[in-house]
Amino acid sequence: IQIYPNDYFYSQFNVTCLSISRAAPYNSGTCPGSHIEQENILTHVIDASMVYGSNLETANSLRSFTNGKLIVKTTSDGRDFLPDTANPVFPCNNNASEHTCFYAGDDRVNQNSGLTVLQICLLRLHNFL
């Protein structure tokens, strides 16, 4: 990410760019014993892709197309939560009927409760603004 010369913080350290990468190990499987490469799985910029997704298809599937809001699941007491999905990328505990798997821009939403809470907060903030 390019840092402008007049940046308040980084200019005092002569920093001109920040390197942010998100990658996962990947083995193409073309040759036995081949080395592992890095495959980029998310965007490399700070762009709120965890809320909106990293492609147009995901972004559109999260939008309600009404007043700029995202799709929500509203509980009987009026609280907004992430929409449900029947096909989570990461498994979640949905064995009991009251449990659900959530759908968000970040496929890891169901990976742990911390990420789930963060995603719910970001969804509510987006729809509030």
Q: 117 or 21, which is more confident? A: 117
Q: What is the pLDDT of residue 107?
A: 86
- How is the chain split into domains, by residue range? 1-46, 48-129
**H-type helices in 38-85, by residue range?**
49-52, 56-62
Query: Per residue in 45-104, pLDDT tens?
Result: 677 888 999 889 999 999 999 999 999 999 999 999 999 987 777 667 656 555 678 999
pLDDT at 30 over 70: no
Q: What is the pLDDT of residue 59?
A: 93
pTM for the predicted model, two decimal places? 0.64
Give the percent of the chain with pLDDT over 90: 40
- What's phi and psi for 35, nearest 5 deg? -75, 160
